[in-house]
Amino acid sequence: MIGKQLYILALPLLLLLAGTAFSPPAVQAGGDPSIVWDGTEMPQGVLFYWYEPSFYTGFAPRTQDPSRAHIQLSRGNQLRVTLVLGPDELDNYADDLVLRADTYQQLLDNKIISLTVNKEYERFTSSIEQSGTRKLAASRNSLAPEIYRAKSTELIATLNPGRVFVIQMPLSRVLESWQQHLAAITEQDLTNKVVQLDAANALLPGRINLYALTPEQLELLQAAASIVRQGAGTDNPAFAAKATEFLQAATGGHYPVKDGNIEAVEFTRIYPVGTLQAMIKYKQWRLSSFGVTGIWHLIPRKIGRGQLGMVDYLSPNPGYGFIPLLQYQHATGKFYNAFHNAGVRTQLNAARFVPKEWKHIPGERNPKKAYQNLWIASRGPASHGCTRLPSGGMTELRHMLPSASDLLEKIATYRNLPQCYELFDIDGNGTPEVMGIKYYLAFAGKGHTPTNAYAQNNRKDFYAWLYGDNVSYNPDDSAVIKDTQTCRFVGRKAKEARSFANQPLYEAEYYPDQIQFYKLHPTSFQTPKGFTFNRELRRIGIGYDADMNKLYLK
């Protein structure tokens, strides 16, 4: 028992492993065999024939700085990924897109690859040309840095609508809130590590995400609190100076203060995810278990099949679609828990929940041949212990993070207790919201085969299953979470923190998966050289010295 949480994790660690050929003791498949999804709209996900390699054709920015990425799993089975874009990311964005586009085209021109299945590549190149990306990249040296970065921000927002947030928080508002928090803490209270962390993170909740304090950070925190205990208000210059100094120390300088505002450009994606195929009981609800919780760094795969030694591991098991896995826990033996793609294919003519409208969708490159399979992430209990993302989402997540494996190892991932929502002010307007996403697909499975849907694929039926009676609706149909339990992170552990009543639910759009299937001609894509090609192609980006030999371009 952990707090009020009662786990059905009397399961041994063997159950907490990445999707593999290993068969754990049976877990109730669940789902409702009578449910057939509504097929009025095309399916969210990736349609395909059979497993082939793919590359990323989306427009998310990439950072080579691991400190700029935040990854957090929370109740509702979604993963928030935020990049805080600094000068390097903004300066390199257009060049990065041009580099990827030109590399893809060079591979095609040299007949190293050919395109198959879909036409995401054509949409990618068309968007680059129509958006003026090349023109902006060419203007970089002729524009003042601030003007160029403003134009780069506009381009990122144009190519990624709804995912770019230009943060401008009035420093006075932030200081007022922090001053009130510190004023309620005694000097003795501040010797407690939990109180220290809560106080530190309260300055910029969700953006300061400390789970341990350095001596410098603690000294600055204590100094700011001491000034407040002496009766200083938010207009006190000493308090403002110390708070600003602490802000920079706590965020690595990623949230500078300019003209009285805390400023940043953030790129945020929210992905639906599948978690451990087991449930926990919390209060009156049955919730998806997360398997492991707390702070977990990405780690290299050192044991297993195929090529080893890197974080961005590619499994030779075709079920993972030859899309990288990012490990965060070594389970036992050759098994790891990882972020990976959907992990299973939904056979369009076999899965009982698939509507008739999806069973005969013509192929995009070959309209005479209907698609046979669909990659969709199940937003609920789904895996042996991993965290499953949509295939396009997993591809994008890999792209957003640093190219080199050793830099990936510096990224910490935050995994809430299953009962903890994430309450986050996503646009910096001063109103935090419960993170969510407009994605209403969840199915149970047996082994690696989808069986039954958990809920109908519409918003209110799905939310009734996902949130139970903890969701209500305003007259304008916006959703509210009635009891919002949150978590804090202390050391590596996730622990219950405050609970809030009647918080608005932020429902992010679900954007189409942007991957392009291809054939590799110099060798089979399933050979060691084929896997090396796949991995190196995904690492292409400004700030990374790609090995052209691995790409057959030298």
Question: SS3 for 141-192, per residue?
Answer: HHCCHHHHHHHHHHHHHHHCCCCEEEEEEEHHHHHHHHHHHHHCCCCCHHHC
13-55 tens-digit pLDDT? 333 333 333 223 333 447 899 999 999 999 999 999 999 999 9
Count of the separate structural domains present in the chain:
1
Question: What is the predicted pLDDT for the residue at 181?
Answer: 97
Cα 413 from Cα 417, distance rounded (Å): 13
Domain that holds residue 494: 13-22+35-165+267-509+516-539
Question: What is the predicted pLDDT for the residue at 235?
Answer: 84
Question: What is the predicted pLDDT for the residue at 29?
Answer: 47
Question: What is the predicted pLDDT for the residue at 9?
Answer: 32
Amino acid at 315: S
Question: What is the predicted pLDDT for the residue at 157?
Answer: 98
Has residue 543 got a pLDDT over 90?
yes
Question: What is the predicted pLDDT for the residue at 548?
Answer: 97
| Adjacent-strand bridge partners of 494 | 489
What average pLDDT score do residues 235-250 get?
96
397-438 tens-digit pLDDT? 999 999 999 999 999 999 999 999 999 999 999 999 999 999
Has residue 177 got a pLDDT over 60?
yes
Closest C-alpha among 495, 394, 431, 422 to residue 78: 422
Concatenating the DSSP letter of every residue in 434-470 gives EEEES----EEEETTEEEEESS-SSHHHHHHHHTGGG
Has residue 187 got a pLDDT over 60?
yes
* Higher pLDDT, residue 13 or 210: 210
Cα 249 from Cα 244, distance rounded (Å): 9
Question: What is the predicted pLDDT for the residue at 70?
Answer: 98
Question: What is the predicted pLDDT for the residue at 233?
Answer: 78
Residue 98 belongs to a domain: yes
Residue 355 belongs to a domain: yes
Has residue 183 got a pLDDT over 50?
yes
Share of the chain above pLDDT 70, in %: 95
Question: What is the predicted pLDDT for the residue at 451?
Answer: 93
Residue 221 belongs to a domain: no
Question: What is the predicted pLDDT for the residue at 25?
Answer: 31
Residue 213 belongs to a domain: no
Residue 219 belongs to a domain: no
Residue 100 belongs to a domain: yes
What average pLDDT score do residues 136-152 get?
97
Question: What is the predicted pLDDT for the residue at 13?
Answer: 38
Instruction: Let me know if 281 is exposed, middle or buried by CB neighbors in 10 A (0-12, 13-18, 19+).
Output: middle
526 CB-near residues (< 8 Å, 6+ apart): 316
Has residue 63 got a pLDDT over 70?
yes
Question: What is the predicted pLDDT for the residue at 448?
Answer: 82
What average pLDDT score do residues 320-336 get?
95
